[in-house]
Amino acid sequence: MEELDTATSPKPPSKVLTIAVVAVLTLVAGGGGWLVGGLLAPPPPKEQVEATKEPAANATGEEGVPKVATEANGVVQLEPITTNLAYPSENWIRLELALQFDGVPDPKLAEQIHQDIAAYMKTVSLQQIQGPRGFQYLRDDIQERVDLRSDGRVTNVMFRTFVIQ
């Protein structure tokens, strides 16, 4: 009787069969995802692909990396400003700004503005610049200082980074 029980009991599936089933299901899922992705987001037109393949040289001669701050577009990137805040004095702030000039940029004026902003940042407390409203006030204050210093020659102050540590 024991022979009949062992002969009729189901055999557990082999590991090879389980691995094969998982591999086939993975391939079917990957193929389906590729097909649906191609239907939802078709490839871009050839003109657009060819336009992106052309290397763009910037002012420093590096290819493929666009340079935002150039004299051709009237933008001057200032050196990073790193200073401690007025209160609490153990907190530091780092700003990277760019100035957009109306016309030809003036490096001397840009340096004066840089020094003015650095001096102003030493008088700011953390409570004044906390949150989105504080950041907007800081932007407005810096824009006002730049407008006064440049007599309207700088049209825009662009914040590239703003870090408080």
pLDDT tens-digit map of 62-79: 544 445 556 668 889 999
Q: What's the pTM value of the predicted model, to 2 decimals?
A: 0.58
Contacts of 61 (CB under 8 A, 6+ apart): none
Query: Cα–Cα distance between 8 and 50 in angstroms, integer?
Result: 67
Helix-helix angle 131-150:107-121, to 10 degrees: 140
CA angle (70, 140, 119) in 5-degree steps: 75
Decide: 141 and 105 in contact? Cβ < 8 Å: no
Summarize pLDDT for 2-59 with one digit per residue, the tens. 555 555 667 777 889 899 999 999 999 999 888 888 888 777 677 655 655 544 444 4
